[in-house]
Amino acid sequence: MSDFDYTPSESEALLLNYGQMESPASTSYNSRGGANGRASSNRRVSSDEELLDTMIVGGNLERSTGFANKELDPRLHGSSSLMDTLDDLPPGIGQYEDFHTIDWLRDVARDRMRHRQVVKKKQDGCLEYLKGAHDAWSGWMCVLLVGVAAGALAGVIDIGASWLSDIKEGICRDAFWLNKEQCCWSANDTTLDEERCSQWYSWAEMVGMKSSGGGSYIVRYFFYITWGCLFALTAAMFVRVFAPYACGSGIPEIKTILSGFIIRGYLGKWTLLTKSVGMMLSVAAGLSLGKEGPYVHVACCCGNIFSYLFPKYGSNEAKKREVLSAASAAGVSVAFGAPIGGVLFSLEEVSYYFPLKTLWRSFFCALAAAFVLRSINPFGNDHLVMFYIEYNEPWYLQELVPFILIGALGGLYGSLFIKLNIKWCQYRKNSVLGKYPIIEVLVVAFITTLLSFPNPYTRMNTSEMIRQLVSRCGPEDTNDLCDYQRNFSDPKSYMSSTYAGGGVKRAIWQLVLALIFKGIITVFTFGMKVPSGLFIPSMAVGAIMGRLIGIGMEQLVIANRYSPLFKNMCQSDCAITPGLYAMVGAAAALGGVTRMTVSLVVIMFELTGGLQYIVPLMLATMASKWVGDALGKQGIYDAHIRLNGYPYLDNKEEFTHTTIAADVMRPRRNDPPLCVITQESMSLEEIETLLKETEHNGFPVVVSVDSQYLVGFVTRRDLQLAIANARKNVEGVVSDSIVYFSNQIPSNTVGPAPLKLRKILDLAPVTITDQTPMETVVEMFRKLGLRQTLVTVNGRLLGIITKKDVLRHIIQLQNQDPDSILFN
Amino acid sequence: MSDFDYTPSESEALLLNYGQMESPASTSYNSRGGANGRASSNRRVSSDEELLDTMIVGGNLERSTGFANKELDPRLHGSSSLMDTLDDLPPGIGQYEDFHTIDWLRDVARDRMRHRQVVKKKQDGCLEYLKGAHDAWSGWMCVLLVGVAAGALAGVIDIGASWLSDIKEGICRDAFWLNKEQCCWSANDTTLDEERCSQWYSWAEMVGMKSSGGGSYIVRYFFYITWGCLFALTAAMFVRVFAPYACGSGIPEIKTILSGFIIRGYLGKWTLLTKSVGMMLSVAAGLSLGKEGPYVHVACCCGNIFSYLFPKYGSNEAKKREVLSAASAAGVSVAFGAPIGGVLFSLEEVSYYFPLKTLWRSFFCALAAAFVLRSINPFGNDHLVMFYIEYNEPWYLQELVPFILIGALGGLYGSLFIKLNIKWCQYRKNSVLGKYPIIEVLVVAFITTLLSFPNPYTRMNTSEMIRQLVSRCGPEDTNDLCDYQRNFSDPKSYMSSTYAGGGVKRAIWQLVLALIFKGIITVFTFGMKVPSGLFIPSMAVGAIMGRLIGIGMEQLVIANRYSPLFKNMCQSDCAITPGLYAMVGAAAALGGVTRMTVSLVVIMFELTGGLQYIVPLMLATMASKWVGDALGKQGIYDAHIRLNGYPYLDNKEEFTHTTIAADVMRPRRNDPPLCVITQESMSLEEIETLLKETEHNGFPVVVSVDSQYLVGFVTRRDLQLAIANARKNVEGVVSDSIVYFSNQIPSNTVGPAPLKLRKILDLAPVTITDQTPMETVVEMFRKLGLRQTLVTVNGRLLGIITKKDVLRHIIQLQNQDPDSILFN
């Protein structure tokens, strides 16, 4: 027979595997879970409220008495008459422990109960009315604050990362706090040469050498590597010392949390600070990672922290997840300047329970964040992302062939990346390597910077590289990619394609090398113990690939401009935009890695700002998704969820097997019978023994052991609290006291005072019959957010199915070893 | 005690109230339900498949025997061993009757069963493999076809409506099939005057009068009214004769259908044809209605019709709704050229069950539709809508005040409109007016055209008016709205605001009159028996209001340009765009009427094509929604659903009351006990009597009448079919035969041969306890798509709650008379 949920002993394994040398349950995690501590103090304060909340769990019976007459009169639906009877319930009932699954149904019900309270009290006076208004506002207020905070933080991180990145190459002598661009602005140079300005000194110049030449190159190379390693080391130390949860992208964990799991401290203030600083450092180090994914984590931390300002959200895990959904939309919104894409990302990729009200609030939150970030204007170009572009060039039907090819290649790359990355992460976990996370970061940083510097495309900021790749060549562009054989005096010639010059050929080789390098190093980078996102590296790989194919296509068409195949593309001049291919490639690779669909297309649409490219983007994304899915169903986030053994019940994958509830439920055929509590025959001592000897998180209550007719369900936590409270506060309760869960207690009892616990009994547990197909059961778990369901046949209790049983069953059916995978 | 679902007698009331003079159940409806007839023939053919499908209902027990051993081996999960045992099931089991609620859980399970079949057969050979591939493709294929058809139809309707509209004013003499714009193009006039071209003859010119002057005006007036009334009459006749379901916007009914209700013929081919032609006519008649809403209905008809090409969708009501969701996205996509907005509209407003796979397919469908429509290019401007605009003007923070004001006014207008329109519709229903729908249309058309002609803003096409209102004034615009005191030689002066000229003042008066007229006439128009959408009239009212406020704001700022309040708006010249105010106003009014949120903002965003206006649009929409909700919770579609008494369980409104299942379930306290069937003691005759004497749609099966322990649930339809089949085909079955629903049949039976019906028994009915809070029950009904749930206490059957009981309960709690509202 199984325990009903994650018991502490198993929960250890669920901690993020930050090295193996720390005891995962050590207090160092807890003491730093900033918002967590705050939460619990908050909880003490609002314990009154919680007493009322628990009515849902236990107050049903009282309500039903004589209720049938009231039902037609909504004015009587307040439940004031019941409130006073519940004062004897101990505080803390209805909360969750760390690494436990939440019960959505119950939490949502608790919130409605609280809401009714507020509405009822509203008539009691002006102050209460204001409180009611505050309660009604608080949802919008909360997401507004979250949006503003996420936008502001993103601005700070953008500016900080850009400054630190430039520090690798040089410094602004008179104002060291400026990055290269700002430095050159402030210097007011008249020269248009972007590469140098009077105020900006490379490190070679700072140590007194000339700005060019072999010696200078070596000094700059040396400083590039030194700074890179230093930044990476600092980031890794930060994560190590202050908040181990700040590593990685955070999206797999946020998906798990939003699906109804508790990981205390994961969204706390220490994590937020560490992640923010660590992101700047690790991006500046030049590692092959991005800050776009971690923005989601940062925004969710803001969401969690601000939710404690509003008890409605802070003290209700289900409601808090609404704020977190909105926050993750804000995270993507600031990452790509795409509020609609952010909302769809939240809907499609991260969120689990997403009612329409949340959709609207998420949109508001995402918009507020984008608005604040635009006001900060970190890139000085009025756009929220470095690689925002506005195209006008048309595309032709023939081009769909290379677009779909790019999509397929993107899907191929994505699944290859996922497989290799997961293999490497598994190796890291199981080998000695996992014990030296900081050395690993240092080594990868050294290799990355060593190999990056010689190639201009890898040396520059990855966002900047993507910007160059997706841009079209205008008259003002002087980089290699735009070195075509053009008539430079005629600005019109930039509107059409022409033969490539020497610069383009050089760029092609550099891009091929960059593609190989980025493709390989990212596998080793993602999963290290520094904050690291995957969006930008994936897009970079895709953009390089796309640009290369685009240039190839361009030259092909020009060479065959009179062929009937390309005739319509070359009326007077051929018009092919390799930048568009890069854009499509970025979408394809990102789609292959993350398996996003609608949200990806919408994000790219918001980036390009034109409806006309939506068809190429969509087709490439579809091709990428199909090819990727054919090679392996899981996206990178799902793969990491599986790797880390989080209890995540995927709501996208369909359950297609024909098993029934009887196959899954515990106890199994030859197991000992289910641990049950009878409603009016067990003594306090017997129940205490049961609690001691088992680790189940809850017990069904039945009429009698023989009949097994189900009465209700009581959770371990509530039972423990209620018993401890009764032992302390209720007179006459001793070990021999009979515990009554039934409604009527025989008045002629002899012996010690009975203990009445019907109030903590859930009289409405969700039940199914043993013949229920598992597909229905899985649907119920997903849609209703259950923790467990009881299995009956002809009214008799047969067994229980917990979320864990369902997860284990799904993994079993996938022919994998459940124990090694789910909880290692 | 209640029946379990809509029985025929009640279903009559649920028919669309097309006048009161027809018997709603008359066969004329059925004979014209084109796709319906096709559907049923299709069903006959695929009855084999259905036999397999029904396994889910009855095949559980067989599966469970000895299944526990198989569960670890997924290869054994095919269920071939059971197939052959089911041949004795009669055909037709598992279908629904008209005006019945579908059972989502069962339909989804049926589809999964079918899918497993296909996957299993795939290994049987090349042909089967191809069939399997076709099955996998069919979802995408189907939505592609739907998208293409919806786009093509929209193009045809756009062109047709535009031609017919112009016919009211004149004709292209040499090529009568051209509308005014095309006519003037083909004439190749050198003059730039838009108002006249050599080929286009007004009716006054056609009858031989001069093109201007009082006589000409009267002739044109006369023809305008005549054609308008003629078109309106034709549209009404079309609807009356061919497809009564083609009237109105269709969105309330589609919402109801998507929520799991069957209305046969509503999405049939006759409806499609009638609606398409009727739309052109009624729009061309100049009535205050739009074709954007009906596009959704047209697209859904396409979805329904094409789904029958793919049995996977055509023969499974739950799966078909996935196609319909995608189709409604395509409808909005072509209506506004907004594929993303369309998907969000489908998600937010119409769809009920919207898994992520559907989201992606809907997007594809919407994009395909938009792509086809763009290729058709009905307006000749490369955009999908007449009023597509591309702004670049900035907006200032101070302007948020008028924007929010516009939003609030929009909300006010919306709720006022809803209240008046519902009142008028109720009056129409209950008075003699409802008997003369055609005369009503004629009268309204006469009044509309009579009052429209004198005012240029009402005389022109409403879309064209909106286009003028939301545009900014450029050098080429010569209409009244752009008559400012400008320096005409300086093109730069068009970038800034300046004092209004006489034309603007004239336009203001005309717009005020147009606002009043449109506002009032739309109340009477929406709900008439012609195809009529509400998007365009609402947007028109909002756009007029917004433009008026915009002009006011503009003049206010110019007059106070040195005031500190407006200083930042007027650096050298003031820059205020009244067109933006009109856009915001259109969003606000549409939001007030429909209560859309995210989808509305996204649609407007796609219309304006700039992220920068999303903040004003969002704030106005929020203000509109809040003001509207404060005055009345329901949007126009929900109000019409309520008005028509459709069984729609709203998934947006939260259930906030404290009732429990025991308060809602039947039988009530003093009612006779629940009609049940015992599992092994009732004779065939007794069951037949039960079927005859009651009208319930299903019966719980219990162990015995005394114990009431629940075994399963059997639907009336399945029971009738099974009994009829047994009477005909099974030897030895007579009236005295005992009907066995149990697993084992005692071998020593005396008397006639027993009838074994366990196969049609649903062994996994959803059950709840009597103490379950109704909020949980409502959640279960919504999220799991239940038809009914059984109520138990301690394993004993107590009662039943159907969807109808839940709906009735919700209405009771809203203090309204359930019977008069739900089923009148």
**Which residues from chain A sit within 8 angstroms of residue B601, using beta carbons?**
363
Relative orientation angle of helices A292-307 and A251-258, to the nearest 10 degrees: 40
Q: In whole angstroms, what is the distance from residue B441 CA to residue B374 CA?
A: 33
Q: Which residues contact A502 (CB under 8 A, 6 or more apart)?
A: A483
Q: Which of A79, A370, A610 sits opposite B658 (nearest CB)?
A: A79
- Smallest CA–CA separation between B764 and chain A, in Å? 5
Which pLDDT score is estimated for B491?
A: 58
Contact flag A656-B112 (C-beta cutoff 8 Å): yes
Strand locations in B497-593 (E): none
Query: Which tokens hold the place of A714?
Result: 């009581």
Contact map slice: A 611-630 vs B, CB within 8 A: 611, 614-615, 618, 622
**Chain A residue whose CA is closest to B776:** A105
**Which residues from chain A sit within 8 angstroms of residue B656, using beta carbons?**
112, 115-116
Q: In whole angstroms, what is the distance from residue A354 CA to residue A347 CA?
A: 7
Q: In whole angstroms, what is the distance from residue A103 CA to residue A788 CA?
A: 9
Contact map slice: B 426-465 vs A, CB within 8 A: none
Q: In whole angstroms, what is the distance from residue A56 CA to residue A60 CA?
A: 6
**Chain B residue whose CA is closest to A816:** B72
**Disruptive mutation site among B80, B614, B654, B658 for chain A (greatest number of A CBs within 10 Å):** B658
Instruction: Kindly report whether the peptide bond that precedes residue B667 is cis, defined as omega within 30 degrees of 0.
Output: yes
Contact map slice: A 90-129 vs B, CB within 8 A: 105, 108-109, 112-113, 115-116
Q: Minimum mean pLDDT among A26-40, A416-430, B292-306, B707-721: which range?
A: A26-40
- Smallest CA–CA separation between B244 and chain A, in Å? 33
Q: Which of A605, A609, A663 sits opposite B71 (nearest CB)?
A: A663
- Smallest CA–CA separation between A725 and chain B, in Å? 26
Query: Which tokens hold the place of B622?
Result: 């929020």
Which pLDDT score is estimated for A181?
A: 79
Contact map slice: B 314-353 vs A, CB within 8 A: 337, 339-340, 343, 347-348
Q: In whole angstroms, what is the distance from residue A767 CA to residue A809 CA?
A: 19
Q: What is the DSSP letter of A491?
A: G
Q: Minimum mean pLDDT among A306-315, B100-109, B435-444, B739-748: which range?
A: B739-748
Q: In whole angstroms, what is the distance from residue A506 CA to residue A551 CA?
A: 13
* pLDDT band, very low/low/confident/very high, at B215 (cuts 50, 70, 90): confident
Q: Which residues contact A561 (CB under 8 A, 6 or more apart)?
A: A567, A570, A574
- Residue B805 pLDDT exceeds 50: yes
Over the range A63-97, which residues count as b (16 or more CB within 10 Å of their CB) and which as e?
bbeebeeebeebeebbbeebeeebeebbbbbbbbe
> In which element (H, E) is residue B793 found?
strand B788-793
Strand partners, B797: B792
**Which residues from chain B sit within 8 angstroms of residue A79, using beta carbons?**
658
For residues B809 and B497, which has the higher predicted lDDT (pLDDT)?
A: B809
Residue B335: how many CA atoms within 13 Å on its side-chain side? 29
Q: In whole angstroms, what is the distance from residue A53 CA to residue A57 CA?
A: 8
Contact flag B63-A769 (C-beta cutoff 8 Å): no
For residues B39 and A562, which has the higher predicted lDDT (pLDDT)?
A: A562
Task: Answer for the pair B353, B321: CB distance below 8 angstroms, yes or no.
Answer: yes
Task: Answer for the pair B290, B462: CB distance below 8 angstroms, yes or no.
Answer: yes
- Smallest CA–CA separation between A798 and chain B, in Å? 12
C-alpha pair distances (Å), B390 with each of A64, A292, A327, B471, B472: 60, 30, 31, 9, 9
Q: In whole angstroms, what is the distance from residue B179 CA to residue B635 CA?
A: 36
**Chain B residue whose CA is closest to A360:** B598
SS (H, E, C) A27-89: HHHHHHCHHHHHHHHHHHHCHHHHHHHCHHHHCHHHHHCCCCCHHHCHHHHCCHHHHHHHCCC
Q: What is the DSSP letter of A795?
A: T
Q: Which of B67, B651, B662 sits opposite A663 (nearest CB)?
A: B67
Question: pLDDT tens digits for B558-579?
Answer: 888 888 888 777 776 777 888 8
Task: Answer for the pair A122, A129: CB distance below 8 angstroms, yes or no.
Answer: yes
Q: Which of A764, A772, A784 sits opposite B764 (nearest CB)?
A: A772
Contact flag B659-A71 (C-beta cutoff 8 Å): yes
**Disruptive mutation site among B107, B604, B611, B801 for chain A (greatest number of A CBs within 10 Å):** B611
Which pLDDT score is estimated for B545?
A: 96
Tell me the DSSP string of B231-277. Answer: HHHHHHHHHHHH-GGGSB-SHHHHHHHHTTB--TTTTSHHHHHHHHH
Contact flag B60-A771 (C-beta cutoff 8 Å): yes
Over the range A427-450, which residues count as b (16 or more CB within 10 Å of their CB) and which as e?
ebeeeeebeebbebbbbbbeebbe
- Residue B143 pLDDT exceeds 90: yes
Q: What is the DSSP letter of A435?
A: G
> In which element (H, E) is residue A711 found?
strand A710-715
Encoded amino acid at A23, one letter: S
The whole-angstrom distance between residue B327's C-alpha and the CA centroid of its chain comes to: 10
Strand locations in B620-766 (E): 677-678, 698-702, 710-715, 739-740, 755-756
A382 touches chain B (CB under 8 A): no
Q: Which residues contact B83 (CB under 8 A, 6 or more apart)?
A: B52, B55
Question: pLDDT tens digits for A532-588?
Answer: 999 999 999 999 999 999 999 988 888 888 888 887 777 767 778 888 999 999 999
**Which residues from chain B sit within 8 angstroms of residue A110, using beta carbons?**
none
Mean pLDDT of chain A: 80
C-alpha pair distances (Å), B624 with each of A720, B25, B414: 50, 41, 8
- Residue B739's φ and ψ, nearest 5 degrees, are -95, 125
The whole-angstrom distance between residue B135's C-alpha and the CA centroid of its chain comes to: 27
Q: In whole angstroms, what is the distance from residue B21 CA to residue B239 CA?
A: 15
Q: In whole angstroms, what is the distance from residue A369 CA to residue A376 CA?
A: 11
Mean pLDDT of B768-796: 87
**Disruptive mutation site among B71, B112, B144 for chain A (greatest number of A CBs within 10 Å):** B71
* pLDDT band, very low/low/confident/very high, at B645 (cuts 50, 70, 90): confident
- Smallest CA–CA separation between A344 and chain B, in Å? 9
**Which residues from chain A sit within 8 angstroms of residue B597, using beta carbons?**
356, 359-360, 363
Q: What is the DSSP letter of B346?
A: I
Task: Answer for the pair B413, B543: CB distance below 8 angstroms, yes or no.
Answer: no
By three-state DSSP, how is residue B200 classified? strand
**Which residues from chain B sit within 8 angstroms of residue A369, using beta carbons?**
none
Q: Can you say whether the dihedral through the CA atoms of B196, B197, B202, B204 is positive or negative?
A: positive
C-alpha pair distances (Å), A417 with each of A289, A452, A522: 14, 20, 8
A736 touches chain B (CB under 8 A): no
> In which element (H, E) is residue B202 found?
strand B200-202
Query: Which tokens hold the place of A295?
Result: 């923005």
First-residue to last-residue Cα distance in chain B: 20
Contact flag A367-B618 (C-beta cutoff 8 Å): yes
B371 touches chain A (CB under 8 A): yes
Task: Answer for the pair A518, A586: CB distance below 8 angstroms, yes or no.
Answer: no
Q: Which of B602, B661, B773 sits opposite A56 (nearest CB)?
A: B773
Q: In whole angstroms, what is the distance from residue A546 CA to residue A140 CA?
A: 42
Tell me the DSSP string of B391-432. Answer: ------GGGHHHHHHHHHHHHHHHHHHHHHHHHHHHHHHHSG
Which pLDDT score is estimated for B202?
A: 83
Residues of chain A with pLDDT under 70: 1-95, 187-196, 381-386, 390-391, 475-476, 486-497, 572, 609-611, 748-750, 815-824
B76 touches chain A (CB under 8 A): no
Kindly state the percentage of chain B with pLDDT values over 70.
Answer: 82
**Which residues from chain B sit within 8 angstroms of residue A791, using beta carbons?**
none
Which pLDDT score is estimated for B94?
A: 57
Q: CA nearest B720: which of B681, B765, B677, B760?
A: B760
**Which residues from chain B sit within 8 angstroms of residue A613, using beta carbons?**
none
Q: Which of B598, B611, B795 sits opposite A796 (nearest CB)?
A: B795
Relative orientation angle of helices A104-121 and A317-336, to the nearest 10 degrees: 100
B691 touches chain A (CB under 8 A): no
Task: Answer for the pair A319, A312: CB distance below 8 angstroms, yes or no.
Answer: yes
Q: In whole angstroms, what is the distance from residue A333 CA to residue A348 CA?
A: 14
* pLDDT band, very low/low/confident/very high, at B45 (cuts 50, 70, 90): very low
**Chain B residue whose CA is closest to A364:** B618
- Smallest CA–CA separation between B569 and chain A, in Å? 17
Q: Which of A68, A652, A780 sits opposite B356 (nearest CB)?
A: A652
* pLDDT band, very low/low/confident/very high, at B20 (cuts 50, 70, 90): very low
Q: Minimum mean pLDDT among A695-709, B270-284, B642-656, B692-706: which range?
A: B642-656
Contact flag A654-B112 (C-beta cutoff 8 Å): yes
Relative orientation angle of helices A636-644 and A400-430, to the nearest 10 degrees: 10
**Which residues from chain A sit within 8 angstroms of residue B52, using beta carbons?**
none
Question: pLDDT tens digits for B170-205?
Answer: 888 877 888 887 777 776 655 545 556 777 888 888
Mean pLDDT of B115-136: 83
Q: Which of A67, A602, A661 sits opposite B340 (nearest CB)?
A: A602
Which pLDDT score is estimated for B34?
A: 36
Contact flag A112-B772 (C-beta cutoff 8 Å): no
Contact flag A614-B776 (C-beta cutoff 8 Å): no
**Which residues from chain B sit within 8 angstroms of residue A658, using beta carbons?**
63, 77-79, 113, 116
A654 touches chain B (CB under 8 A): yes
How many beta-carbon pairs under 8 angstroms link A with B?
229
Q: CA nearest B393: which of B530, B227, B575, B224?
A: B575
Mean pLDDT of chain B: 80
Residue with tokens 């439940």: A79
In degrees to the nearest 10, what's the CA dihedral of A583, A584, A586, A590?
140
